[in-house]
Structure 1
Amino acid sequence: MTSRDHFVLTKAFHSSGDVIADRRAGYARMLAEGGDHAAAADLMTQALEITPDWAAGWDLLGLYCEKAGDVSGAISAWRHLEALDDNGVFGAGLKLAAHGAGIASDGTAVSYVEALFDQYAPQFERALVDRLGYRVPEMLDDLVQAEMTRLGIESFARALDLGCGTGLMGEKLRAKAAYLEGIDISAAMIAETARKGIYDSLQKAELVATLNGRRADADLVTAADVFIYCGALQPVLAALVPALQPGGLVAFSLEAHDGPEPLFLRPSLRYAHGIDATRDALVLAGLEILRFETAVLRFDRGAPITGMLIVVRKPPLELNAANDGQSDGGDVAA
């Protein structure tokens, strides 16, 4: 099961407002669950002839066409969806871009990601950990612990877990941080993790906007499988670096690809980043690369998804001061 599959949940099955159209959509769903996606698409087409303004119905038709191998039919359905979904909740633009029928945005599709994880929240951990072999929080925590040992860091005063989800990363960080904050775009995810009592504070917010409003107070920031929904890395780093204390660490994961493009939108609607482009972006942001490893992050449709596990550091204040001193001395000597 993939994130694309998860999105066709509660919102997609809201009533069309017509009993006959709803009945046909229900039959279509049963056919799709049985693997007959072509027949499901035919029934959804009939339903949409009755209710042509049903955005969720066009989303379902696109999904069924895609799974039946009818990419042109899926693209047509998503074009109808895009015209009806002003807020972008169904991610029509992303779906079109992933199939070469549009241009992907460089930033987060906020409405889509929020709706996706609001619906995904109740089954999030079971799907990721049990079905998809997800181990990113554990792997990132191992890297953070190794750097703590190497740098002589006993604990962090204030840690910030971006895209905290249901707290899988937070569970690893709790013993390492005196104060642990969680931020997530999904209210349902926040509600799930609040029950666990892991974090000292939780906030529903879009991460770039939140980081832009912070002072430099975090000495650890984590983002486990979060930036894969954010698009270009540079705007995220530009907001993140000022929120870090000098010497602060950032640990995060990205999906990787080997192509020449710095950014690639997968059919899963997650972004994959180029390895060399990622290194360049980190250096350009003024961050010191401490760890940069590739690993299998999870499985998707039975195939391993290779990604990057990264730990970087904002230069310590004393290094900046030392450099300033050297510069001043040089000017005087000149």
Structure 2
Amino acid sequence: MSSSPQATCTEDAAPDHISHVNEQLAQLREQIAALGVGKESKRDRQKLNQAIYKLELGDEYVAAVKERDAATKSEAAAATLVAEAAAAAARALEDAAAAAAIALLRHPTPARDKLELEQHYRQQVEALFDEYADHFEQALCEGLRYRTPDHLYAMLLERSGRTPTDIAEGILSRMAAVDFGCGTGLMGVQLRVACCGRLIGCDLSRGMLKVAATRHKGVYDELVASDAISFLRKLSPGSADLIVGCDVCVYLRSLEPMFAAAEAALCEGGVLAFSTESCTLEEASGGLPPNGDGFVERPSERIAHSPEYLHWLVASRGGTMEMVSLAEVDLRMDGARMIRGNIAIMAKRRAG
């Protein structure tokens, strides 16, 4: 590896390689812009986004950027370039992963074809996040200024209904806490210090789970490779007193399956907390169910849910759940724009 062009990129060659890669990136983005909206176009878009991601984080390209930074001796410029590269890579991955996760739902197909596509897109999403796992935290936290776990954890500590003992000891969970869609463990790191019982993480990507197990060793008592809804459905009824989903609902259209599975797994008084990207009710397709969806798909192909839809979810459970708090916060950057979203804290009512 040490004799490869990646490791011996000269100062003169670095600008040429950067220009060459940038030309390739521009061509790939032009191809994406020219795609239609059909099923085949979705697959082509996913492949092109993967190609962009690999170019932007390729060893030779990264080495060339470092050579250029060293030549200019500008630490400020270097930091900006790294942040821009990380943000671009993260956006490319988000577009590809979101497209894979929801393309099937956007284009209904016969049952057999639907099952085959579900399996195909699941494999693609797993592969994307597996490949991206090692760079995930840097790109998200530094490139996109991602602070959603901070907001969620703070609201959990501030929620009403906590016992004086829990407040004094800083405890959020004494039985079992679940971090669904845990990724590399950014949320779990914060939850660990507030959990007396077990902390369980689940994620679709085994690569993300591997990073969580090694980089944040000892945070989780158990890590499970599974999609969030299937995992929640397998939990014993009433076995968890805290269920948290950080930046997961952006890949879910209807939240009803997740909400029902979480409610069943919660004990009386247990808490469900999660983040969503936000939209207005006017943006949501047809308003609230049953007349509309309560959510909208953004051009990024991430799903944004209206606050009214979150209140509707609670009301639809017939009084078994209550909304403890709902707050709008800054989630992360998307280019030069800050994405706004909601942190929802809900609780399962006690009998009587």
TM-score (norm 1): 0.68
CA distance in structure 2 between the aligned counterparts of 1:188 and 1:303, rounded to whole angstroms? 29
What are the ranges of 5 or more consecutive residues in structure 1 without an aligned counterpart? Answer: 1-28, 42-62, 323-334
CA separation of 1:90 and 1:259: change in aligned 2, threshold 3 A: closer
Q: 1:313: Cα distance to partner? A: 0.3
Tell me the residue number matched to 1:241.
263
1:168 aligns with 2:186: yes
Tell me the residue number matched to 2:131.
119
CA separation of 1:241 and 1:213: change in aligned 2, threshold 3 A: same
CA distance in structure 1 between the aligned counterparts of 2:186 and 2:101, rounded to whole angstroms? 30
Tell me the residue number matched to 2:224.
203
Tell me the residue number matched to 2:275.
253
Provide Cα deviations, 1:129-148, integer angstroms capped at 9, x if missing partner.
Answer: 11111111111110111127
Q: Which region of structure 1 is more displaced relative to structure 2, 290-299 or 112-121?
A: 112-121
Q: Residue 330 of structure 2 is aligned with which of 292, 296, 308? A: 296
Q: 1:151: Cα distance to partner? A: 4.0
**SS of equivalent residue, structure 2 residue 244:** strand
1:278-289 equivalences under 5 Å are: 278-285=310-317, 286-289=320-323
1:1-334 equivalences under 5 Å are: 33-34=22-23, 37=26, 40=27, 63-66=29-32, 70=33, 73-75=34-36, 79=40, 82=43, 91=99, 94=102, 102=107, 110-147=122-159, 150-152=162-164, 154=166, 155=171, 156=173, 157-177=175-195, 178-195=197-214, 196-197=216-217, 198-215=219-236, 216-260=238-282, 261=284, 262-285=294-317, 286-316=320-350, 320=351, 322=352
CA distance in structure 2 between the aligned counterparts of 1:258 and 1:111, rounded to whole angstroms? 33
TM-score (norm 2): 0.65
One-letter code aligned to 1:167: G
Q: 1:245: Cα distance to partner? A: 0.9
CA contact (8 A) 1:166 1:189 kept: yes
One-letter code aligned to 1:79: E
One-letter code aligned to 1:33: N
What are the ranges of 5 or more consecutive residues in structure 2 without an aligned counterpart? Answer: 1-17, 47-95, 285-293
Q: 1:112: Cα distance to partner? A: 4.1
CA contact (8 A) 1:90 1:112 kept: no
CA distance in structure 2 between the aligned counterparts of 1:231 and 1:304, rounded to whole angstroms? 22
Tell me the residue number matched to 2:71.
none
CA separation of 1:225 and 1:81: change in aligned 2, threshold 3 A: closer
CA distance in structure 2 between the aligned counterparts of 1:268 and 1:304, rounded to whole angstroms? 14
CA distance in structure 2 between the aligned counterparts of 1:151 and 1:283, rounded to whole angstroms? 25
Tell me the residue number matched to 2:5.
none
CA distance in structure 2 between the aligned counterparts of 1:252 and 1:167, rounded to whole angstroms? 15
CA distance in structure 1 between the aligned counterparts of 2:182 and 2:100, rounded to whole angstroms? 26
CA contact (8 A) 2:100 2:125 kept: no
CA contact (8 A) 2:324 2:345 kept: yes
CA contact (8 A) 2:98 2:251 kept: no
CA distance in structure 2 between the aligned counterparts of 1:253 and 1:223, rounded to whole angstroms? 7
Q: 1:251: Cα distance to partner? A: 1.2
**SS of equivalent residue, structure 1 residue 125:** helix
**SS of equivalent residue, structure 2 residue 300:** coil
CA separation of 1:292 and 1:77: change in aligned 2, threshold 3 A: closer
RMSD: 3.3
Q: Which region of structure 1 is more displaced relative to structure 2, 262-271 or 290-299?
A: 262-271
Q: 1:276: Cα distance to partner? A: 0.8
CA distance in structure 2 between the aligned counterparts of 1:142 and 1:268, rounded to whole angstroms? 28
Aligned length: 257
Moved over 3 A (4+): 29-32, 80-83, 88-98, 102-105, 108-113, 148-153
Q: 1:97: Cα distance to partner? A: 8.1
CA distance in structure 2 between the aligned counterparts of 1:237 and 1:299, rounded to whole angstroms? 27
**SS of equivalent residue, structure 2 residue 182:** coil
CA separation of 1:308 and 1:153: change in aligned 2, threshold 3 A: farther
One-letter code aligned to 2:139: A
% identity of equivalent residues: 29
One-letter code aligned to 1:206: D
**SS of equivalent residue, structure 1 residue 222:** strand
CA distance in structure 2 between the aligned counterparts of 1:77 and 1:145, rounded to whole angstroms? 45
